[in-house]
Amino acid sequence: MSRFKLRIDGPSGKIETVITDPGPTRRGLALIAHPHPLHGGTLDNKVVTTIASALYEQGYVAVRPNFRGVGLSEGEYDHGEGEVADMLAVLSFVRERYPDLPLVLAGFSFGAAVQSRVSEIARPKQLLLVGPAVNLFKMGTAPPHTLVIHGEHDELVPIDKVRAWSAQYGVTLAVVRDADHFFHKKLSQLKQHILELCPC
């Protein structure tokens, strides 16, 4: 295993990015987006690191960038527009280094909304949306190979809103029982859902 931190060129300056690479046994590439930058969201968010850990354990290179204006990433928050461009810039960079690996796009909350829009351009093997803020931010469409994981008692994004959004595209929705938006004390259950259902 190797873990390293980079500052990748992006449309608004350098993008701080942490990459965890399982080495020669790698079987895929996972780009993971964190929650809202103005509400404490970073690449070290506990849900984001749980997603990264689950995908890494399945042999995926886990790539976690900080959106513009977060940590050592340059620029300022751009209401989801620039953040989509940030993800595409990071994806372009890692794609050059891992050109033949199948891609999983993943995101939590605001990051899930961003990745749903990135997926319309990047065409991943699978899209993983955890706690997608369907009622708060602009969402993209969901391809058939989308997995949505949501907390049963999410206080910010009601489960009924997510059920309706998922049903609109006919995608799989897995519900973590008794979980809130941040999966407090439910991270192990979240990880188990990912290991069992995503990517394949």
CA 178 to chain centre: 22
The tens place of each residue's pLDDT in the chain, 200 residues long, gives 799 999 999 999 999 999 999 999 999 999 999 999 999 999 999 999 999 999 999 999 999 999 999 999 999 999 999 999 999 999 999 999 999 999 999 999 999 999 999 999 999 999 999 999 999 999 999 999 999 999 999 999 999 999 999 999 999 999 999 999 999 999 999 999 999 998 65
Query: What's the domain range around 44?
Result: 2-197
58-79 pLDDT, tens digit each: 999 999 999 999 999 999 999 9
Largest CA distance in the chain: 42
d(CA 124, CA 115): 10
- What order do you get walking across the sheet with 2-10 strand by strand? 2-10, 13-21, 60-65, 28-33, 103-108, 126-130, 146-151, 172-176
d(CA 138, CA 3): 32
Tell me the CATH number at 186: 3.40.50.1820
12-48 pLDDT, tens digit each: 999 999 999 999 999 999 999 999 999 999 999 999 9
Query: In total, how many domains does the chain have?
Result: 1
DSSP state of 67: P
